[in-house]
Amino acid sequence: MSILSFTRAWQALEEQTTIHVVLPNQIDPKNKLQVLWLLHGLGDNGSGWIRKTNLEVLTKYTNLAVITPEMNRSFYMNMANGLPYWDYLTKEVIPEMRKLLPLSTKWSDNFVGGVSMGGFGALKLAFTHPDWFSAVIPMSPVVDLTTLPKMMPDFRAIFDGALPDRYLQHLAEAAPKEALRKLRFYYLMGDQDEMKPESDAFAAYLNNRLGLNVTYQTEPGGHDWLYWQKILPDVLTWLLHVRLSDGKPL
Ligand SMILES: N[C@@H](CCC(=O)N[C@@H](CSC=O)C(=O)NCC(=O)O)C(=O)O
């Protein structure tokens, strides 16, 4: 595997960020790579996935590019008193990385996942751009923004006024239902995670109210990297099944 560390300035942010990329050794120029966009949580950065898991070893067997954008403490938003990270991600990072690397742009070849704040980001990307990804993997996602003050003392950098209630539900309800129902979700949550009751309810809402294809897996685990590094092999195995079930050679 190759690990690239890609640093440059971005127009939306007017500052430098570093994006980490895991690439397979064998790249066939005729077949563009399938991509897992893997999002980090609060207090972390894109390097977290590389430093705190065995991502490099696991992806040796998956022939997949993995991209971990740097999103700072943005909650995957254009911040009210900060930088427009959502625009940077959706209008710059994803299109630019696709220009620079041999990445497939097809819906069926793109997958998005993330932990905690990054799980929120993965759900937000799926609901706002359901035609960009075919599989969505929220791991211990924050699904209720009204709980933000408990975890993030500087939440006013993101939201000026009242915290949005049912933010993800509104996005999901506004998304084209046909496109949403084509997505496959693998939603993972630790039993010891304080946010589990919100996720139990949110996963049930996605499955039962919206009729989405959501596999909700809960097991012993907290809101931490011990749990996330433990579930990463399950995530990549589930993704392999999804990719193989599409009938394409990997
Ligand atoms: N109150 C802290 C919260 C930081 C924190 O615990 N972050 C978790 C992810 S939680 C959701 O996004 C984490 O994994 N941090 C990195 C680590 O290595 O522990 C704050 O305001 O930052």
Residue positions counted in the chain: 250
In a domain, 246, yes or no: no
Number of domains in the chain: 1
- Tell me the HSE value of 176 on the side-chain side, using a 13 A CA sphere: 7
191 CA to middle of ligand 1, Å? 18
Choosing from 142, 145, 151 the residue with most ligand 1 atoms within 8 A of its CB, the one to mutate for a pocket test is 151
Helices 117-128 and 167-174 sit at what angle, rounded to 10 degrees?
20
In a domain, 98, yes or no: yes
In a domain, 131, yes or no: yes
CB 57 within 8 A of CB 22: no
235 CA to middle of ligand 1, Å? 21
**CA–CA separation, 161 vs 82, rounded Å?**
14
Residue 47's pLDDT is 96
Please give the distance of CA 129 from its chain centroid, rounded to a whole number: 12
In a domain, 181, yes or no: yes
Ligand 1 binding pocket includes 117 (Cβ within 6 Å) = yes
Residue-by-residue pLDDT tens, the chain, 250 positions? 899 999 999 999 999 999 999 999 988 888 999 999 999 999 999 999 999 999 999 998 889 999 999 999 999 999 999 999 999 999 999 999 999 999 999 999 999 999 999 999 999 999 999 999 999 999 999 999 999 999 999 999 999 999 999 999 999 999 999 999 999 999 999 999 999 999 999 999 999 999 999 999 999 999 999 999 999 999 999 999 998 887 665 6
Q: What domain range is 96 assigned to?
A: 2-240
The protein residue whose alpha carbon is closest to atom 18 in ligand 1 is 44
In a domain, 245, yes or no: no
**CA–CA separation, 135 vs 199, rounded Å?**
18
At 54, list the tokens.
Answer: 């065995």
CB neighbour class for 72 (10 Å; exposed up to 12, middle 13-18, buried from 19): buried
Domain of 181: which CATH number?
A: 3.40.50.1820
In a domain, 175, yes or no: yes
In a domain, 147, yes or no: yes
Backbone angles phi, psi at 114, to 5 degrees: 180, 165
Choosing from 38, 42, 123 the residue with most ligand 1 atoms within 8 A of its CB, the one to mutate for a pocket test is 42
CB 205 within 8 A of CB 143: no
In a domain, 176, yes or no: yes
pTM above 0.90, yes or no: yes
Of 174, 112, 173, 164, whose CA–CA distance to 143 is shortest? 164
